[in-house]
Amino acid sequence: MRAQDFPIEFRREIEALLGGEADEFFAAYGRPHCRGLRLNARAGLSGATASPMLALGGGADFGAAHELASGFIGDEVEWQSGAYRIDGDLMPGSSLMHLLGLYYMQEPSAMSAGAALDVKPGMRVLDLCAAPGGKSSQLAAALCGRGLLVSNEPIPSRAQMLASNIERQGFSNVVVTNEYPDRLAARWGETFDAVLVDAPCSGEGMFRRDAEAVRQWSPDAPRMCHERQAGILDSAYELLRPGGAMVYSTCTFNRLENEQSVAEFMRRHPDMIAEDFALAGIGESQGGMLRIWPHRVNGEGHFVCRMRKQGEYTEKPTGKRDKRRRAGKGAPVDAEGVLKRLKSTIDLPDIPGTPVMYGQRLYMLPEGCPELDGVKVARAGLEMCEAGRSHVEPAYALGRALAPDKGAVEVNTADAIRLVRGESIEVDTKDGWALISWQGLPVCFGKAHGGVIKSHFPKGLKPLGILTEEAR
């Protein structure tokens, strides 16, 4: 694309922001857009940890995942551990490794927001505008399986996509909600140690990879987004505890949605103070704000601002949680009883959290989770199983969260592809439920009988394209 291919109003905004650098900015749009991926450190490490659960992110050894995905890996993303740019026309999103959660596809500059929030294990974290899940999976990895992440998306279809991406990567301490921010603020108040607001925006940073985004842009788009962002930020403020950190980010360039949105927010909430930070390969923020430009950094562009809420936080008492929930008509279901039935069905390690029933499905609710009554929930932590009167079926999400051990059934590439397509395979193993793995990665649970394993890979996740051994 050339400078003259962009709307005149957009060109004027860029020229005002960059001055003499504007020509370099537009010249960058003549180069291919930047793609990237983040390795899932919790994948393929069962032999490197004493825990029966897979290691989760945050300083874990990426060696096993790196070796398996090496054919897709280019230059390292400087500001995010275990992240790499993708060279050329490679298609890692069509591989079996991607389907099984070995890595997540994410544009490099978009990783800056999660890096700036600087999440630590044990925190209670909220991703307020989370779909499709790139930044949520980044935050979940940083928690290392300790603490809580609530990932929220108000649009139901996108919330389901978000839940699916979280499950695919095997995170157990993530709750996915489906609410508008103001409803969560009214319900939970000052609950979270850290809040990410990756706000809906006019998407100017997507222009290089999506020509349609250029055609759909209008001069009114930044103003409308700015007004929407104000309400989301105010809700985020209500949800952030005193002393907690907030990161506000967009993938757009204009001042109205970036610096001006931040300035107006801090005027409304004078106890929110900008906090400077630095990201390797990008530089230091100014007044807590950092811009990523596609002509300066090998990425598509982003805006990130880090703030901290002043004051001291006093822990609020939590109400007693009812582990029973009604499954349609009849008496409530005993979650502890269902959990015992599951443990009698498969070899299950102790998983932290509180067992709760949603309909016929048992979930392990993460420790520190706020009360979910009255909140629309797409994923109440880790789904453990579906329980009927005469059966207990281990959930796909549970299989993704477990480390394949000596009891797992390891299969070759051809059989793994058959399983994700929903086909049965012939395997010499004892009858009953078995966790199936490929290259040390959990694939799904299967039901074995008479030397045949029936796949229980979810129908909605079956690949639309043709997975081949070459597309591993």
Chain region(s) in the chain for CATH 3.40.50.150: 32-309
Q: What's the pLDDT tens digit per position in 349-360? A: 888 899 999 989
- From residue 351, give the alpha-carbon distance in Å to each of 19, 33, 118, 208, 354: 56, 42, 26, 44, 9
Beta-carbon count within 10 A of 313 CB: 13
Q: pLDDT at residue 472 above 50?
A: no
Q: pLDDT at residue 53 above 50?
A: no
Distance (Å, whole) CA 253 – CA 95: 33
- From residue 350, give the alpha-carbon distance in Å to each of 137, 173, 339, 440: 23, 14, 11, 21
Contact 275, 245 (CB under 8 A): yes
Chain region(s) in the chain for CATH 2.30.130.60: 404-461
Which active-site residues does the annotation give?
251
**Is the torsion defined by CA of 111, 437, 66, 45 positive or negative?**
positive
Tokens of 328: 């349609």
Distance (Å, whole) CA 78 – CA 84: 9
**Is the torsion defined by CA of 120, 62, 304, 195 positive or negative?**
negative
Give residue 326's identity as a one-letter amino acid code: R
Contact 361, 333 (CB under 8 A): no
Report the CATH superfamily, name and number, of domain 32-309: Vaccinia Virus protein VP39 (3.40.50.150)
Q: Say what the pLDDT of residue 417 is.
A: 93
Confidence of residue 332 (pLDDT cuts 50, 70, 90): low
Confidence of residue 328 (pLDDT cuts 50, 70, 90): very low
Distance (Å, whole) CA 82 – CA 346: 33
What CATH number labels 404-461? 2.30.130.60
What average pLDDT does the segment 461-467 reach?
56
Distance (Å, whole) CA 225 – CA 199: 9
Least confident range from 3-7, 282-286, 339-343, 369-373: namely 3-7
Q: Say what the pLDDT of residue 330 is.
A: 45
For the entire predicted model, the pTM comes to 0.92
How long a stretch of residues is the chain?
A: 472
Q: Say what the pLDDT of residue 238 is.
A: 98
